[in-house]
Amino acid sequence: MKKIVSVFGLLFALNVHADDLRATGDLGLVIERESNSALIINTTQPSRIAKIQGLGDLSHASVVFSRDERFAYVFGRDGGLSKIDLLEDEITARIIQGGNSIGGAISQDGKIIAVSNYQPAGVKLFSANTLELIAEIPAIDAKGQLSKTVGLVDAPNQKFVVSLFDAGEIWVIDVKNPKSPRIEKFTNIGKQPYDALISPDGRYYIAGLFGEKGLALLDLWHPELGIKRILANYGKDNEQLPVYKMPHFEGWAMTSDYVFVPAVGRHEVLVVDKKTWQLVKTIPVVGQPVFVMARPDGRQIWVNFAMPDNSQIQIIDANSLAVSNTFSAGKAALHFEFTPRGEQVWIALRDDNAVAIYDTDTLKEVARLPAEKPNGIFFSARAHRIGM
């Protein structure tokens, strides 16, 4: 009889414990810009789980996740690097690693966190486990001048790729030996690369240029070919328009055939053929595009805009290469994040203090969560995507 009772007791205990378990694949962070905080959220049952405070300046925050999806690493503009435990709802480590940071990445094996800095100019490598400094890589160009670093992404074969804004260079950083990283430098790529992205397969690194027309393309499968300039003639004869907000390249859309590029300062999305890297079409949109993001199946391209059009959202049909829908979810739509298979999209509405969740098929709002001035949404599924 005692054995039967103990078995029932064990089953009861296991059931209680199971109810308390939390699946990391369901989780994400919503950045609350002005309150130095972030919300841990559940994406399958749209809800707020916890609020994490004390994260510093989040005006240009970005987030990466550990490969087991348990930890989120938050990069703050003030140089803060914070490690959040998504299961314990707490900051487990936090350091101020620089004076002005612009983002970061996590290595292919998940053991190294790299941070891109304006000040001190360069890249720093940290242990993902402890946040201890492993190596510091000053961004010194051929003339001995320091340069701000931008567009830092992870790449296959245990590498990072970064652009040097002032120097006009791209560096490929091999961290197989993280205490002594090897650097391959590509110079004269163009003036003032301001942001960059890597293709989902990790092959192509593309940096946008603010100081001149065009983009800089590096084929990581064939680095011996050097830098290829693409779209160099786009808009060169047009009047230079004021830029209200720089586009974010990690929000670029890549489908099976095309790359959809936000035009700097213009009311256009550019469509580029992935095989030839030639301009196929320009798609007129309602404002200056900031994020141009593809639904995971590549059929829809969602676009948001800089002021004064930042309450508008447009959807481009990837088949017809034309705008199919225009609507407003609310005030100041700053960022999108799709659920892993794309049935829903979460939209940060800064001036409504809310995150709106939409069905991407019906375009109907299905839920809305309160959030204090949200400006970035990041789901843990990013842990398994190159460049995210």
Q: Round to the nearest angstrom and report the end-to-end CA distance of the chain.
A: 55
Q: What is the pLDDT of residues 13-44, one digit of tens each?
A: 445 454 578 889 999 999 999 999 999 999 99
* Residue 307, C-beta contacts closer than 8 angstroms, at least 6 positions apart: 244, 245
Which amino acid is it at 337? E
- In terms of residues, how long is the chain? 388
Q: What is the DSSP letter of 263?
A: P
Six-digit token string for 78: 């003030």
Share of the chain above pLDDT 90, in %: 78
Which one has a higher pLDDT value, 289 or 255? Answer: 289
Task: Work out the number of other CB atoms within 10 angstroms of the CB of residue 37.
Answer: 18
Angle, CA of 98, 101 and 105, to the nearest 5°: 110
Are 334 and 357 in contact, with CB atoms under 8 Å apart? no
Mean pLDDT of 126-152: 95
pTM for the full predicted model: 0.92
3-class SS shares of the chain: helix, strand, coil, % to 5: 10, 50, 40
Residue 341's CB is within 10 A of a number of other CB atoms, namely: 10
Is the confidence at residue 7, as pLDDT, over 80? no
**Band of the pLDDT at 257, cuts 50, 70, 90?**
confident
Is 14 exposed, middle or buried (CB count within 10 Å of its CB: 0-12, 13-18, 19+)? exposed
Q: Alpha-carbon distance 166 to 100, whole Å?
A: 15
Among candidate residues 277, 236, 221, the one with its CA nearest the CA of residue 254: 277
| CATH number at 97-245 | 2.130.10.10
Render pLDDT for 81-137 as a digit per residue (tens, 0 to 9): 999 999 999 999 999 999 888 899 999 999 999 999 999 999 999 999 999 999 999
* Cβ atoms < 10 Å from Cβ of 45: 9
Q: What is the pLDDT of residue 251?
A: 62
HSE, CB side, 13 Å, CA atoms: give it for residue 204.
19
Q: Are 367 and 386 in contact (CB under 8 A)?
A: no
Amino acid letter, 353: N
Partners of residue 357 on adjacent β-strands: 346, 367
Which residue, 267, 269, 199, is CA-closest to 231? 269
Cα 388 to Cα 385: distance, rounded to the nearest angstrom? 6
Query: Which H or E run contains 14?
Result: helix 2-20
